[in-house]
Amino acid sequence: MVEATNDLLDVTAGNFEAAVIEESFRRPVLVDFWADWCAPCKMLMPVLAKLVDEYGGKVRLAKVNSDEQQGLASQFGVRSLPTVMCFRHGQPVDQFMGVQPESAIRAIIDRHVERPSDRIREQALAKLEAGDAAGAVADMQSAVASDPDHHALKVDLARALLDAGDPEGAEAQLNLLPMDVHEQEAVKQLRARLVFAKTLSGADLAALEQVVRDNEDDPEGLERLAAAYMVAGRNEEALELYLKLMQRHRGYKENAGHKGMLAAFEVLGPRHELVNQYRRKMVSLLY
């Protein structure tokens, strides 16, 4: 058995909140769900302990005996042992099951351990939230230059560039990402937002509304106004226009209405009330 320290300790339901949830706001916490009868668990434990020791206080390992703490195992949906979850900022953000190579575990830790560029990133995100997209871009570019292998920074830089009105720059940053990162939801949402930004091409919303009023059956006008509505957060109006584009101009840009609708669903997310409503309308048109 590995000796308990501040970086490695046994956790129960009684101290889980303090030892895992609260601690995860300061550093990543790996929670190892194990059992005494589980041979793979005993193989994995020294690997985890070795890694935690190497990170020198930047990560904690919390060991949960699943036989003794069945409530915790059930709460977090543990179905096989060993299961290791990484908690950060109060939430499980990564996990793996079974014995994994040391390199794979190190990659998970590296995704969540604090890096020197994180403080610049936090400063940039605060500026972005405050509406200072240009300031956020400058800070993000500095962070990327100091930590070029940190892919999350490039995703954030792409978002800042898009908010600053530079869709080409945002797309260039996304194109630098490795293929596995492209499957992340944040990247998919940015790709969807790029559809609207590139369609809009900086056009004025009021001018686009006038174009559609003058010719409400113009497919390009409908597409660009729908994109403008999405950028402005007028989501239902955008979806109505994409639906109209599907109904009247199926051949325009190989069903641009359908493509725009799917991009809108990606941006809104699967739980948005409008997504289910308009997905049904879209399917009825397609089939």
- Active-site residue numbers? 38, 41
DSSP for 148-197, please give it: TT-HHHHHHHHHHHHHTT-HHHHHHHHHTS-GGGGGSHHHHHHHHHHHHH
- 107-127 burial, b if ≥16 CB within 10 A, otherwise e? ebbeebbebebeebbebbbeb
CA pair distance 260, 183, nearest whole angstrom: 19
- Cβ-based neighbour number of residue 280 at 10 Å: 9
How many degrees, rounded to 5, is the angle at CA 7 between CA 5 and CA 28?
160
CA pair distance 76, 40, nearest whole angstrom: 20
Whether 103 and 127 have beta carbons less than 8 Å apart is answered as no
Q: Which two tokens stand for residue 195?
A: 């559809």
Compute and round to an integer the Cα radius of gyration of the chain: 24
Taking CA atoms, 193 is separated from 42, 161, 178, 261, 274, in Å, by 47, 12, 20, 12, 17
Among the residues of the chain, which ranges form H helices? Answer: 16, 39-54, 70-75, 102-112, 117-129, 133-146, 151-163, 167-175, 185-200, 205-214, 219-231, 235-248, 256-268, 273-286
What is the identity of the amino acid at 254? E
